[in-house]
Structure 1
Amino acid sequence: MKVGELRPGMLLAQAVRDVNGRLLMGEGTCLTERFLGVLKAWGIAEVAVQGEKTCSLADAGDGLPESLAARAQEICAVRLSRCDLANPVVQDVFHLAVARVGHLLEKGAPLVPPTLAKPGDEGSDLAPLDMEQLATEDLPMDAMPEVLARLAQIMENPSASPAEAADIIQCDPGLAAKLLKMVNSPLYGFPQRIDTISRAVTIIGVQQLSALALGVTVMGVFRSIPKNLLDTRQFWLHSLACACGARALASALGLPNTERYFVGGLLHDVGQLFFFLHVPERARLVLAQVRATGESLQSAERRCLGADHGQAGGTLLAAWQLPASLVQAAACHHDPLAAPAPQDATIVHVADFIAEALHFGSNGQSVLAPLNTAALGMLHVPPGVAAQVAARIEEQLGQLESIFLGGS
């Protein structure tokens, strides 16, 4: 159908891309006046629509005041415009997002629909970064706490004893205290207080507690990033939400060692921090472009930096000789089917999508990257899993924020 003949409420039957193949709107997007304007601005002549069908997501936000529901729907429609809204899980996330955004608006949160515009060419003339060199020379292993390498070895050694793990963790009193706070939190819900690392290792497991300790240790490496460059609290809040969501999703799928997925979620965006440590002005340019145009974070990073934050994070964690599951989760969380063993990366990918869609913190993305529905299909998720994961994040995020971020 010609763009001039479209009306608000129509549903796209196929994804819309620009002349360079860049995804503008996903299949199933409910057209609004804003989206019609975007199609005209990009010079799109025709699109495929599902006849005269009214958007099936129009009831999102039931229970909210009508004006709030309309504003929340508009915000979420733009933020999820690159997603396949015909997919049942994406539809569930859309409904959850509208409800949460509506409540945030009710509390006075300054949320508005992201700007959609053609990306410029800023940064395209800059030399691409040499990720291997930066990872091995600019932030060498000897800059890391010694405990990191030892924890990585424990995680990969199924015969490691609880005493070995406890000895390593107890070498860092701050780390030990944070882990004890965590295992005594509602995240685990143990009926009796756990007072020692030795007991925590025995109850939770050697690999499991070592994985948590490793994640906490890596967080500490990036504490020096200035807040005027990046809202690090919002960044880590999003990472904690992703971690919590990944753990909940793994649990819903009946997978063992869910702490591994928690740490994969916690560290999935570490490549962004790596950029802000080494090329802060270029990293700031990337975020400015993303916020001004709605361009995907990965696309802006590749243009301005020569690599995206997934590639950067994977390269960094590999240089630190961390377990392959964590390397792949970081490297492939936006393209999980590219991972040699895609399950871990897919779980983090889905949790990342839910956390970002529902405004649990932010990594700076204004319009979300699409959920990879092919990878999602490989997980065989049960019905209602998005609501289950979102509920777990909402229940536990405040406590995790207190433990990990305190008053920072």
Structure 2
Amino acid sequence: MVMLIKNNLSESFVAVMDFLPLISKTNSEVFSALMDSNLSVKKLSEVINKDHSLSARILALANSPVYGFSKKISTIEMAISILGFEAVKDLVIGFSIINSTLEDKDRYFIADAFNKHSYVCGYIAQLLANDFDYPVRNEAFVAGLLHDIGIAVIHRYMNKEFTLISEMKFYRKLNQTRAEKLILGKTHSDIGAEVATKWFFPDSLIDAIKFHHSPSQANSNTKLVAIVHLADFIASKEAPQYLLSSEDEPLDKSVIEILKIPDESYLFDLINNVSILIKSMNLI
């Protein structure tokens, strides 16, 4: 049964990939504006302000402890000056991609929970990028935000298979990736990376998506991959109500070497400190 599903999926997945829109050619106002080489701060602010949810998220990031700005950031224009023009563009693209791939909830998928896990993971990745001197903090946020994009794609475009995966998780107590391997022959990380490639993401984001459960297997962009893996682990541990599975993915201890963490004790102190911070900010 499982082998038959896998064989049939090889063709259906190709069809799904062909069906997915190319982000660079979308006709939406957001992406049309972002692809305009003459885009101004004023125009970008206008686009963001039309989406109240997006505006709130951008302002929340600008006011976060990561940036340590003493004055309250109350407008999108001010946020752009704090975060940087290109950084805000990246964040808008990330949030818009998440929204474009989500559908309404069903028995095994709650879009709001998926959104919250993605956001918390992105936020933690940004904090960790600051701790480990990763030079592009907004890239870490976007990588954390989009790390599970493959799950949203499976749910939306391969819903029957998504249901089978979910049933294997809940009734056979398998973790997400094991169930996906059995049903699809590949994981949401693989699918997310293929989608990211089709959408012309930079290699750093593709690697972060592909190896966020297995940083030891990454051959490039290892620091970003390790940061996203650790962020996902913390987000899953501290906010299990947002998970799509009853089983957590294990922590890959290779992050200790990749991030040059002194020892496991230091690592778990770090995890505890980050957990306290995000709880104090009511992110979970």
TM-score, normalised to structure 1's length?
0.59
Q: Take 1:148 and 1:267, find their aligned partners in 2: how far apart are those partners?
A: 17
Q: Take 2:76 and 2:181, find their aligned partners in 1: how far apart are those partners?
A: 43
1:222 pairs with one of 74, 85, 101: 101
Corresponding residue of 1:347: 227
Corresponding residue of 1:250: 129
Deviation of the 1:230 alpha carbon: 0.4
Corresponding residue of 1:371: 251
Gaps of 5+ in 1: 1-121, 155-159, 403-408
| 1:85-116, Cα deviation, whole Å (9 max, x unpaired) | xxxxxxxxxxxxxxxxxxxxxxxxxxxxxxxx
Distance 1:244 1:323, change over 3 A: same
1:285 pairs with one of 164, 167, 176: 164
Corresponding residue of 2:46: 170
Letter in 1 for 2:175: S
Distance 1:309 1:285, change over 3 A: same
| 1:263-306, Cα deviation, whole Å (9 max, x unpaired) | 11111011101011011121021011112223232221122123
Most deviating of 366-375 and 230-239 = 366-375
Letter in 1 for 2:131: A
Deviation of the 1:371 alpha carbon: 2.5
**Equivalent residue pairs, number:** 274
SS of equivalent residue, structure 1 residue 171: helix
Distance 1:171 1:235, change over 3 A: closer
| 1:290-334, Cα deviation, whole Å (9 max, x unpaired) | 122232322211221232100111111222222322222111212
Letter in 2 for 1:370: P
Deviation of the 1:166 alpha carbon: 5.2
Distance 1:182 1:355, change over 3 A: closer
- 1:199 is the counterpart of 2:83: no
Letter in 2 for 1:136: D
Deviation of the 1:165 alpha carbon: 5.3
- 1:386 is the counterpart of 2:273: no
| 1:8-407 equivalences in 2 (<5 Å) | 123-126=2-5, 127-129=8-10, 130-141=12-23, 142=25, 145-148=28-31, 151=34, 164=40, 167-172=43-48, 173-174=50-51, 175-184=54-63, 188=67, 190-336=69-215, 337-382=217-262, 384-396=266-278
Are the aligned partners of 1:187 and 1:396 in contact in 2 as well (CA < 8 Å)?
no
Are the aligned partners of 2:190 and 2:210 in contact in 1 as well (CA < 8 Å)?
yes
Q: Take 1:390 and 1:244, find their aligned partners in 2: how far apart are those partners?
A: 15
| 1:184-211, Cα deviation, whole Å (9 max, x unpaired) | 4566553323343333222222232222
Deviation of the 1:388 alpha carbon: 3.0
Q: Take 1:291 and 1:398, find their aligned partners in 2: how far apart are those partners?
A: 32
Letter in 1 for 2:253: T
SS of equivalent residue, structure 1 residue 264: helix
Q: Take 1:262 and 1:369, find their aligned partners in 2: how far apart are those partners?
A: 20
Q: Take 2:108 and 2:79, find their aligned partners in 1: how far apart are those partners?
A: 37
Distance 1:385 1:165, change over 3 A: farther
Letter in 2 for 1:278: Y
SS of equivalent residue, structure 1 residue 386: helix
Q: Take 2:112 and 2:90, find their aligned partners in 1: how far apart are those partners?
A: 22
Q: Take 2:68 and 2:134, find their aligned partners in 1: how far apart are those partners?
A: 19
Letter in 1 for 2:93: L
Deviation of the 1:378 alpha carbon: 1.7
Q: Take 2:81 and 2:155, find their aligned partners in 1: how far apart are those partners?
A: 38
Are the aligned partners of 2:143 and 2:205 in contact in 1 as well (CA < 8 Å)?
yes
Distance 1:137 1:230, change over 3 A: same
Runs of 4+ deviating beyond 6 Å? none
SS of equivalent residue, structure 1 residue 212: helix
| 1:163-198, Cα deviation, whole Å (9 max, x unpaired) | 735533532421345423442456655332334333
SS of equivalent residue, structure 2 residue 195: helix
Q: Say which one has the larger Rg.
A: 1
Distance 1:353 1:314, change over 3 A: same
Deviation of the 1:400 alpha carbon: 7.0
Distance 1:144 1:381, change over 3 A: farther
SS of equivalent residue, structure 1 residue 226: coil
Distance 1:295 1:136, change over 3 A: same
Gaps of 5+ in 2: none
Letter in 2 for 1:329: A
| 1:330-361, Cα deviation, whole Å (9 max, x unpaired) | 11212223353222112111221222233444
Deviation of the 1:216 alpha carbon: 1.7
